[in-house]
Amino acid sequence: MKTFFTNLILLASLIGYSQEHVHDIRFILGEKLDYKIKYGWFKIGEARISVDSKMHPIDQVAHYRVSFNLKTVGWLKIFANLDLDFESFINSRTLQPHHAKRITISSKKSNSQFDEFDYEADSIMVRTYHKEKDEYKLSSFLRKGPHFTDALGTYFYTRSTKLAIREQTRLYIANRIYHFRMNLEDTNSKKNSSYYKLIFPPIKQFPREKKSYAILSNNLNIPLEIKLATNNGNFFFILAD
């Protein structure tokens, strides 16, 4: 079950995916996008990604507040309830996260995490609270490499650039950095969308023989559908009508 939840979190994080380019903001304040999450043919969850209707000043720089909320539904909620709440404050000049918060509530445990990005020190300060243990932990996470961003920061990059045929990024999720690649495979002019193949690092839950993909709208780079092929089956993230 832990692996099942990990796949859901990774799928949620892949709603945005990109690398640093010239900014061309193509969304509006107050925007909300709703998604349904499926495991094979079965609907197992719902999600919403939203941008706050106002900007937030931090260190005299305007920041976007972007939120991602996911919850399980149906039969899965009875046996393995999961609620995720992500929130990042994104610098309007660099589109890099200033700080982020994540709250995870499942059937067995709940915890919250606060990440503060220090680009001068090239590190991330991580504060975690485990409710069941009533325990706080403080740690510092070194970036050790070129530019990377968190899950919601990638969403802003994706919505703010013209994607190349091949993209790659270093994505910070759950105190680890994952290296991803994304290759343009096809463009559908009738549906005004593009099909990208997702290439994961060599980790056991993502076998190379199984294909994962993302379908983005051509005009606004909105994720229309994402498939995450894992050893435990196929997870889908589909934009609701």
What is the predicted pLDDT for the residue at 15? 47
User: How many residues would you count in the chain?
Assistant: 241
What is the predicted pLDDT for the residue at 18? 41
Q: Which residues of 118-142 are buried (b: 16+ CB within 10 A; e: fewer)?
A: eeeeeebeeebeeeeeeeeeeeeee
Burial level of 67, CB count in 10 A (0-12/13-18/19+)?
A: middle
* Spatial CB neighbours of 132, under 8 Å, sequence gap ≥ 6: 109, 110
Chain-centroid distance of CA 179 in Å reads 14
pTM comes to 0.79
- Low-confidence stretches of the chain (pLDDT < 70) are 1-26, 132, 140-149, 161, 163-178, 201-209
What is the predicted pLDDT for the residue at 40? 85
Q: Which amino acid is at 212?
A: S
CB 101 within 8 A of CB 114: yes
Tell me the β-bridge partners of 76. none
Element (H, E) at 197: strand 193-199
How many folded domains does the chain comprise?
1
Unique residue bearing structure tokens 């509530």 = 105
The C-alpha atoms of residue 75 and residue 72 are separated, in whole angstroms, by 9
57: containing domain: 2-239
What helix, strand, coil percent values describe the chain, rounded to 5? 10, 55, 35
What is the predicted pLDDT for the residue at 153? 75
What is the predicted pLDDT for the residue at 109? 75
